[in-house]
Amino acid sequence: MQSLGLWDEPPGPAPWGDWKRPRGAVALGVTTPALALNSHRSWRPKDLVEVNDFEQRVRRHVDVVMWFADWESGRFDPRQADAVRRRGSLPEISWEPWDASIGPRRPQPRYTLASIIEGRHDRVIRRFAEAVREYRHPLRLRFAQEMNGRWYPWAEAFNGNRRGEFVRAWRHVRGVFDELGATNVDWIWAPVAGTLKRWQYPGDSQVDTIGVSGFNGGSKTFSRQWKEFRTAFGPTLDAIHHLAPRKSIVLPEVSSSEHGGDKARWIRRMFAELRRRPYIRALTWFDVSKEDDWRISSSPEAEKSFARGLKTLRRR
């Protein structure tokens, strides 16, 4: 790991299996361009250089490193997880039941929820679960995120899926992990900020942590309407905290556009909301230029606002 000059010695691996941390403590996570491509491209050790660069900009160690893996080509690579662990960060994988190279909003009949329920992907699931079990160390698994949207093939409102099938698919997948003894996983149920469907919640016994993802696309992308963090996330966070008040909540994929508003102010107000909501335990910034430039470095003002905001939060 590149030295940041922030500690006398590198931080050790974090024992975070149960997410029991002091009230108000917030972990910092990041996804970078190279990690986003891991959905269908093999990991390379130099991919973590971007994480080091992010730490330099925000002047803080990254607690969570999140990458993507699809079912078509992505396998669990213990070398990647171990490299993240050895740098003192917790591995998190957004594990997606689709072919990521095809992209969203296009049907993928091979990856319907029914196909998961019926066991047609059990070979892929078992191979992944066995590799995770052999890794032995804690990791977070954000399985089939944003299921309440209409763009991924595992969404009930898309790809020929039916109401109630998401929970059945979730329970099938977790059942395989439990059967194989892959119990070192923190399972994250992660809807996108917006309309929630209570019947898509697998249940407290099936979910370890709840994640809420979302982006302010500003005037350029998605709804093409600027939305402050409190407007975009607040109602969903309130509803989820009411649905599962004993669960910790994380923000596993968050960012804002520069178009149509003040991104630096958006970031400041985001941190103010995190301080108001002590049940939020982690923030993972999507530091990627994709549909828009989501990076904190999209402007000097945004980068400074993010670094300053971090100083107002209690660290884990």
* pLDDT at residue 283 is higher than 90: yes
How much is the pLDDT for 73?
84
Write the CATH number of the domain with boundaries 27-311. 3.20.20.80
**The Cα angle at residue 153 between residues 150 and 154, in degrees rounded to 5:** 90
Work out the average pLDDT over 220-226: 81
Percent of the chain at pLDDT exceeding 70: 91
Query: How far are the Cα atoms of 54, 97, 156, 164, 253 from residue 114, in angstroms, in the given order?
Result: 40, 12, 10, 10, 27
What residues contact residue 118 under an 8 Å CB cut-off, 6+ apart? none
The whole-model pTM stands at 0.89
d(CA 155, CA 70): 15
Q: What is the mean pLDDT of the chain?
A: 89
In which element (H, E) is residue 275 found?
helix 263-276
CA nearest to 282, candidates 28, 17, 22: 28
Distances (CA, A) of 102 to 72, 108, 153, 233: 10, 8, 11, 29
pLDDT digits (tens, 9 = 90+) for 70-116: 999 878 999 999 999 999 999 999 999 999 999 999 999 999 999 99
> Which residue type is seen at 54?
F
Q: Which of 48, 99, 89, 45 lies closest to 69 in space, CA to CA?
A: 99
The two tokens of residue 33 are 């361009």
First to last CA, the chain: 20
Confidence band, pLDDT 50/70/90 cuts, at residue 10: very low
**Helical segments of 87-183, H only:** 113-117, 122-135, 165-180
Distance of alpha carbon 307 from alpha carbon 262, whole angstroms: 16
Residue ranges per domain, the chain? Answer: 27-311
Rounded to whole angstroms, how far apart are CA atoms 61 and 84?
12
Helices 300-311 and 263-276 pack at an angle, to 10 degrees, of 10
| 292-308 mean pLDDT | 96
Cβ neighbours of 76 (radius 10 Å): 22
Is residue 3's pLDDT more than 50?
A: no
Residue corresponding to tokens 């399985």: 143
pLDDT tens figures, 40-53? 778 888 999 999 99
